[in-house]
Amino acid sequence: MAKAKTENKTEKKTEKKTKTKAAPKTKKPKEPKEVIEAKVTEAETAAVTEEHAVPETVAPQPRRSIAFIGSECYPFVKTGGLGDVMYALPKALAELNCDVKVILPRYHCIPAQYQEKMVYRGSFDMDLCEDGKSFYVGIMEYVWDGVVYDFIDNDEFFTGGNPYTNLVDDIPKYCYFCKAALAALNYMDWIPDVIHCHDWQASLVPVFLRTQFADTAIKDSKTVLTIHNLRFQGVYNIPTIRYWTNLPDYVFNKDVFKTGYEDANMLKAGLTYTDIITTVSNTYADEIETPDYGENLDAHLRYHGGKLRGIVNGIDVVQWDPKADTRLAAPYDITDVLDRKKENKKALQEELGLEVDEGKFVIGLISRLTDQKGLDLVNEILPSLVDGNTQIVVLGTGDIRYEESFRGFESGFKGSVCSCIMYDEGRAHRIYAGADALLVPSLFEPCGLTQLIAMRYGTVPVVRETGGLKDTVEPYNQFTHEGNGFTFDRYEAGLLYDAVNRAKTLYFTDRWHWDEMVQRDMAKDVSWKTSAEQYRALYLELKP
């Protein structure tokens, strides 16, 4: 971990050194200064690298095979950031000479357009339970963009309209899924160098691998377990998990499964058995070792701290590309963002029934509506934000109390506030493009993708300095005019209010520097490239 942190600091320093000021606003900027300078820097770096090329960089990178195992993946099924990562990271790794197979449940809710293209790859029966009960495992395959997707098919477990229902159903579902994924790899005789598991739903993979699969073909594969959100751990009583896994007694002790007096924690067990633990930002990697953010696993994580790393997420810059985004009224890039954003803003205001006025400061919020996302702070300050010059657009679903409070604000501030209580991918794209700022005031945020997408769309993030938000948004400096957004530290409504007001002040009184920040945000590299390389280096470290 120490090593990972040091590397990151060096990276940050380098990033600072090469950072250049964004181009000042011109009527028709040909190519912003930052882009040109970035190109020059790239060219220089390439020249230097070539000059000092050592044999390893010339030789082709060794190929590695990776099996991704997780519970959701865009565009088949997505409820949050995990779905984005399961789609974008395998794609980025495939471009780095990796063979990637993604193993997912074949939920009934996967749209027909994908179900129809899946090809039957085989099936078998698998023992699962303590009483010897066995279950059907079907494998349906779909190949797309250099990545192979294998869906585990079983009608008893994956029937719901939603991937997650309640723990009573979800615990057996993911016990089955973890074992079936390993059994499917053996069945297909596809033995990966590394098995990369994601969140508690896939966390039993390392446990099964080192116990029931210890004498099978797959036994030499290494494992990585990534924590996308430590809050969700898959905790249930020991007898139930023992029944659904038939794992040996010795793993139900306090170092592996046991938590409290009688519960078993699936994530905890996976963290014990995996070779490497990663989480999705450096700051979150530090935070989760503390009682405040550790969700009762901080001591366990400190104990396993030697194998914990932070690698920040990126976004898929093809999926999120304002220039090629067919969902937008006026697609744009860094050269015409300043004009086109106004058109997108007006189109958004029309679509949502807000007062159509390009002069208004539009604040977006795209989020699961849960406590994690800092919505109690937003509720506290929202009435004070609506001042005749400001509009607020909320897109999200989740806890009833937030859904109701935002609906209430919409009817209380007609024309200035719009609350879209729904999940709508297209509308999310239009808000990213049409809003001036995006709020992400999270209580905790392992990485956060919305601030990255916002920057890619030239929308200035206003974030709390926690987890990945802290690692990806550099606060605006009013003296040097550097930075990517507005930030606040302590979890207090007053500080959020202050951060939004600082953003509004810059927008209304110093548009020149605001526009520079918009362009600087669009020029920032939020792609997967650097992070995918870090994952690849990690796989090579595990399997030299």
Nearer Cβ to ligand ADP (93/447): 447
Q: How far is the CB of 453 from ligand ADP (least distance, A)?
A: 6
Please identify which residue in 46, 50, 63, 80 interacts with ligand ADP, judged by CB under 6 A: 80
Dihedrals phi, psi of 301, to nearest 5 degrees: -70, -35
Interacting residues with ligand ADP between 114 and 173 (CB under 6 A): none
- 33's enclosing H/E stretch is helix 33-51
φ, ψ for residue 343, nearest 5 deg: -65, -40
* Longest alpha-carbon distance in the chain: 74
From the list 184-192, 366-374, 454-462, 474-482, the region that binds ligand ADP by CB under 6 A is: 366-374
At position 206, the amino acid (one-letter code) is P
Site track 306-335 with ligand ADP (rule: CB under 6 A), x = hit:
------------------------------
Q: Cα separation of 388 and 299, whole Å?
A: 49
Q: Restricting to residues 414-453, which ones interact with ligand ADP according to CB under 6 A?
A: 423-425, 428, 448-450, 453
Polymer length in residues for the chain: 544
Minimum CB distance to ligand ADP smaller for 251 or for 311: 311
Residue type, 462: V
For the CB of residue 421, give the shortest distance to ligand ADP in the complex, in Å: 8
The structure tokens listed for 465 are: 């300095």
**Residue (184 or 227) nearer to ligand ADP, CB:** 227
Q: Which stretch binds ligand ADP (CB under 6 A): 235-243, 322-330, 361-369, 532-540?
A: 361-369
DSSP state of 115: H
Amino acid, res. 489 = D
Stretch that binds ligand ADP, among 79-87, 130-138, 506-514, 525-533 (CB under 6 A): 79-87
Q: Residue 477 Cβ, how far from ligand ADP at the closest point, in Å?
A: 25
The DSSP secondary structure of 409-435, one letter per residue, reads HHHHTTTTEEEE-S--HHHHHHHHHH-
Whether the CA torsion 303, 304, 310, 315 is positive or negative: it is negative
Q: Judged by CB under 6 A, which of 367, 390, 405, 484 binds ligand ADP?
A: 367
Residue closer to ligand ADP, measured from CB, 247 or 369:
369
For ligand ADP, the nearest residue by Cβ is 81
Q: Which of residues 182-201 bind ligand ADP (CB under 6 A)?
A: none
Peptide bond into 105 cis (omega under 30): no
Residues 375-414 that bind ligand ADP (CB under 6 A): 395-397
Cβ-based nearer residue to ligand ADP, 32 or 461: 461
Query: Structure tokens of 232?
Result: 């969700």
* Shortest separation between residue 428's beta carbon and ligand ADP, angstroms: 4
The CA angle 184-185-189, to the nearest 5 degrees, is 115
**3-state SS track over 324-339:** CCCCCCCCCCCCCHHH
Residue 438: CB minimum distance to ligand ADP, A:
10
Residue 368 binds to ligand ADP (criterion: CB under 6 A): yes
Q: Give the one residue of 301, 366, 518, 523 binding ligand ADP; rule: CB under 6 A.
A: 366
Separation CA 462–CA 476 (nearest Å): 10
Spell out the residues 6+ positions from residue 158 whose beta carbon is closer than 8 angstroms to its own.
105, 106, 107, 108, 152, 173
- Which residues of the chain form contacts with ligand ADP (CB under 6 A)? 80-81, 84, 366-368, 395-397, 423-425, 428, 448-450, 453
